[in-house]
Amino acid sequence: MSSLRELQAGFRAAILGDDGAGVAAAVVDDDIGASARLAIYRHHVFASLTAALEATYPVVTRLVDRRFFGWAADRYVRARPPAGPCLAEYGGDFPAFLAQFPACAHLPWLADVARLEWAMNVALHAPDAATLEPIALQALEPRALARLTLRFEPSLTLIHSAWPIDAIWRANQPASDGVVDLGAGAARLEVRRLGDDVVFRTLPSGAFAFRAALAGGRSLEDAVERALDAEPGFDLAREIRALLEERVLAA
Partner 1 sequence: MAGGAHRGTGIACPKDAMHPSGCGIGLRAPHVAEILDRRPPIGWLEVHAENYMGGGPAARALERLRADYPLSIHGVGLSLGSADGIDGRHLERLAALVERLQPALVSEHLSWSVAGGAYLNHLLPLPYTDEALDVLCANITRAQERLGRRLLVENPSGYLRFRDTSIPEPQFLNALARRTGCGLLCDVNNVYVTCSNLGGDAAAWIDALDAGSVAEIHLAGHAVNDADGRTILIDDHGSPVAEPVWGLFGHALRRFGATPTLIEWDTDVPALDVLLTEAATATRRLVKAGDVVAA
Contacts with partner 1, residue ranges (CB under 8 A):
1, 3-5, 7-9, 11-12, 15-16, 26-28, 31-34, 36-41, 44-45, 48-49, 52, 81-89, 124-129, 155, 193, 196
Taking the complex as a whole, how short is the minimal distance between the CB of residue 45 and partner 1, in angstroms? 5
Residue nearer to partner 1 on the CB measure, 45 or 228: 45
**Residues linked to residue 197 through DSSP beta bridges, in sequence order:** 194
- Cβ neighbours of residue 151 closer than 8 Å, sequence gap 6 or more: 249, 250
Residue nearer to partner 1 on the CB measure, 21 or 140: 21
- Cβ neighbours of residue 239 closer than 8 Å, sequence gap 6 or more: 206, 207, 210, 227
Taking the complex as a whole, how short is the minimal distance between the CB of residue 141 and partner 1, in angstroms? 35
Taking the complex as a whole, how short is the minimal distance between the CB of residue 8 and partner 1, in angstroms? 4
Residue nearer to partner 1 on the CB measure, 31 or 177: 31
Taking the complex as a whole, how short is the minimal distance between the CB of residue 40 and partner 1, in angstroms? 4
Residue nearer to partner 1 on the CB measure, 24 or 228: 24
C-alpha span between 88 and 195 (Å, rounded): 19
Residue type, 123: A
Residue nearer to partner 1 on the CB measure, 128 or 141: 128
Taking the complex as a whole, how short is the minimal distance between the CB of residue 104 and partner 1, in angstroms? 24
C-alpha span between 216 and 205 (Å, rounded): 16
C-alpha span between 117 and 208 (Å, rounded): 19
**Residues linked to residue 218 through DSSP beta bridges, in sequence order:** none
